[in-house]
Amino acid sequence: MAESAAPVSSSGHESLIERFLEMYVSERGAALRTRLAYQADLDDFSRWCGQKTFSDIEPEDIRAYLSIKEREGLARRSLARHLSCLKQFYGFLLEEKLVTSDPVSDISGFRYKAVLPHPLTEEEVRRLIEEGTRHHDDPRRDIVARAALELLYTTGLRISELLALPSALLRRQGGMLLVRGKGGRERLVPFSESARQAAEVLVHYDAMLDSPWLFPGRDPKRPLTRQGFDKILHACALKAGIDPRRVSPHVLRHSFATHLLNRGADLRALQMLLGHVDIATTQIYTQVMNERLREVVTQCHPLATEG
């Protein structure tokens, strides 16, 4: 006979959700954004359960709930996150012996196709760095733009990682950058000598600000905001003759990965550089490359349209 689980009243939903989220953050180092998304998902699910306890829920209930979310127009990516959240939540309840069975274990689906932006060409990146970081109205803007673009493209950093870099990072000897990524996970990323030199110029220029950040905001005690950086990047794209709608920090990260793969980089090495926990996330890039190779053959091969 299966071991009985402690009854879970509907009034206890909130405390169970909180216990799960505390575990998720402490043991898995989940980022704040992920925690908030999971809390919103579980709060929504709890409201849908009504007077039913979590232990009363059966597989058909989960399917009904997800079907409702789908009819409400929730994107497949969000549906996939909902399902992942419920799987982890019920796994936690089962481990804590708060339920006797997992109604989500056999439910699959809601896979979504990851959409990646089109990368810039190597020539466009060169223009962005060389031509987009000159002749701004404010001379400091040139220096900030050069350091930021050099670092983004030669390291593949996320914009949140870039803006969180301390001004003391250059004290580290060698060409490796210590980066704190999602969930507080740290990794070492090599960066170019030109990126180091651009960062050194910025640190020297901003010495009087006495800021702890490599990219200080208007208040030197705080880092530059994402919105502030977007304005800089927009101006750089215009100066380089590139449509600003095609340029973003994520596009530069994607260009970094694509150009490395085009030149023969190893997928595992790319995973480490990008800070992906799961190799499947990195494999998205190879899938996109395969699709583009098929497009090239279809459009250019003399026999591709015959048959």
Q: Has 153 been annotated as catalytic? A: no
Per the annotation, the verdict on 254 as an active-site residue is no
Kind and range of the H or E element at 253? Answer: helix 249-262
Distance CA 88, CA 276 (A): 20
Question: Taking phi first (over 0 means left), then psi (-120 to 50 degrees means alpha), and beta for anything else, what does residue 128 get?
Answer: alpha
Marked catalytic residue, from 182, 187, 234, 259: 182
Angle at 179 between CA 176 and CA 180, to 5 degrees: 160
223 SS3 class: strand
Is 47 one of the annotated active-site residues of the chain?
no
Q: What does the alpha-carbon distance between residue 5 and residue 97 come to, in Å, rounded to a whole number?
A: 5
3-state class of 213 per DSSP? strand
CB-facing half-sphere around the CA of 286: CA atoms within 13 A: 12
Q: Which residue in 127, 196, 239, 253 is the catalytic one?
A: 253
The answer to whether 215 and 167 have CB atoms below 8 angstroms apart is no
State which amino acid sits at residue 10: S
The helix (run of H) or strand (run of E) holding residue 189 is strand 186-190
The catalytically annotated residue of 126, 221, 226, 250 is 250
301 is catalytic: no
Q: What phi and psi, each to the nearest 5 degrees, are found at residue 220? A: -60, -20
Tell me the sheet residues that pair with 166.
Answer: 213
10 Å Cβ neighbour count for 186?
9
Task: Give the active site residue among 69, 146, 158, 254.
Answer: 158
The residues carrying an active-site annotation are 158, 182, 250, 253, 276, 285
